[in-house]
């Protein structure tokens, strides 16, 4: 009987600190899960060239960039023989609303985007003359409408004389440089948070009374966290730009936030499959058994009853 009491007391002393430590271990595990999910998603964004390009294009549709492109066009036109700055400005006002002009501006914006998202160390060039070449006939026709007879060859020569703009992405603070630095930081974040998740997940399993049930619970936590982030980020992208064009910068942020949500779905799906597999495997073994101390006590009581009856 004393042996039973000693066993129960030792078991009770061991279970008490385990039960006190488990909530804190699970809290750190949840924090590690959050850090890991965000780091993996962020790293996926930094290597997603299509998302980075679309986000940069949305940001560059701002009036500041568009005005700068039109300044290039106006400066080139003002250099043409027989065209003064006032005439050039009137021609620009007429050309801005035409499809050919919009196409030329878009071509220049595309080149600027390519230069900004180029890998660090590469040399990107913005060929202004090639982008503005399709505008030459429109400019000549508009000059004629303004009463200015300027030969098309003169306008073409002016456009051809525009020097390309070279950008050294190794020295400039470009999107490519920023994404490269962010990728390095997020890679470190993935390694650190994954280590924390494995460490505290192992600690949770070690101090738990039912280890398989704890593993299933941890996998379920990861699954719900991942799917929650997928919903949250999708909703966040809509909140940033609900009208699909409220602001170029907000639209750029919405593209980033709502991208690569498949990362959360894949992680959540894998974790859910692990939890389901454990539940299926352990289901036939869910037979209630008495703890060893209780079984021992019952057997002792039975022996005592037999002796008394005798």
Higher pLDDT: 101 or 121? It is 101
* pLDDT tens digits, one per residue of 1-18: 444 444 444 444 545 566
Per-residue pLDDT at 306? 39
pLDDT value at residue 221: 94
Residue carrying structure tokens 């960039």: 65
Q: What pLDDT is attached to residue 156? A: 77
Long-range contacts of the stretch 194-200 (C-beta < 8 A, 24+): 194/36, 196/28, 196/31, 196/32, 196/35, 196/36, 197/29, 197/32, 197/33, 197/36, 200/25, 200/26, 200/28, 200/29, 200/32
Of the two residues 258 and 282, the one the predictor is more confident about is 258
Question: Greater confidence, 192 or 211?
Answer: 192
From the number of C-beta atoms within 10 Å of its C-beta (0-12, 13-18, 19+), residue 255 rates as buried
**Mean model confidence pLDDT for the chain:** 76
What is the pTM for the complete model shown? 0.69
| Interval 78-87 mean pLDDT | 72
Q: Where is average pLDDT lowest: 58-67, 91-100, 232-241, 300-309?
A: 300-309
Say whether 26 sits in a helix, a strand or coil: helix
pLDDT computed for residue 270 by the predictor = 95
Looking at residue 70, what is its pLDDT?
A: 73
3-state secondary structure of 165: strand
Query: Which of helix, strand or coil describes residue 281?
Result: helix
State which H helix or E strand residue 126 sits in. strand 123-126
Asked whether the predicted pLDDT for residue 281 surpasses 60, the reply is yes
Residue 18: its pLDDT value, please? 65
Residue that wins the pLDDT comparison between 264 and 181 = 264
- Asked if 204 contacts 22 with a C-beta cutoff of 8 angstroms, the reply is yes
* pLDDT score recorded for residue 301: 45
Beta bridge pairs of residue 167: 124
């Amino acid at each position: 009987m004393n042996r039973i009491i000693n066993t129960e007391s030792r078991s009770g002393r061991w279970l008490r600190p385990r039960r006190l430590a488990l909530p804190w271990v699970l809290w750190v595990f949840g924090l590690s899960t959050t850090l890991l999910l965000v780091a993996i998603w962020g790293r996926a964004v930094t290597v997603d060239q299509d998302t980075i390009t679309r986000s940069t294009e949305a940001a560059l549709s701002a009036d500041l960039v568009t005005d700068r492109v039109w300044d290039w066009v106006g400066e080139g036109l003002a250099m043409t023989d027989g065209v003064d700055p006032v005439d050039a400005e009137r021609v620009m006002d007429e050309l801005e609303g035409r499809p050919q002009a919009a196409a030329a501006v878009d071509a220049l914006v595309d080149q600027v985007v390519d230069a900004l998202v180029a890998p660090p160390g590469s040399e990107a060039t913005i060929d202004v003359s090639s982008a503005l070449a399709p505008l030459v006939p429109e400019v000549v026709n508009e000059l004629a409408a303004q009463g200015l007879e300027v030969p098309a060859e003169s306008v073409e020569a002016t456009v051809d004389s525009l020097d390309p703009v070279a950008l050294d992405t190794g020295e400039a603070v470009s999107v490519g440089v920023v994404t490269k630095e962010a990728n390095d930081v997020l890679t470190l974040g993935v390694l650190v948070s994954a280590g924390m998740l494995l460490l505290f997940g192992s600690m949770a399993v070690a101090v738990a009374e039912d280890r398989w049930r704890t593993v299933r619970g941890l996998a379920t936590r990861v699954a719900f966290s991942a799917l929650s982030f997928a919903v949250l980020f999708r909703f966040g992208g809509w909140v940033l730009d609900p009208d699909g064009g409220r602001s170029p910068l907000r639209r750029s942020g919405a593209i980033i936030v709502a991208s690569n949500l498949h990362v959360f779905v894949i992680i959540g799906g894998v974790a859910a499959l692990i939890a389901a597999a454990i539940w299926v495997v352990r289901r036939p073994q869910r037979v209630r058994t008495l703890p060893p101390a209780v079984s021992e006590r019952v057997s002792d009581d039975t022996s005592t009853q037999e002796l008394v009856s005798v």
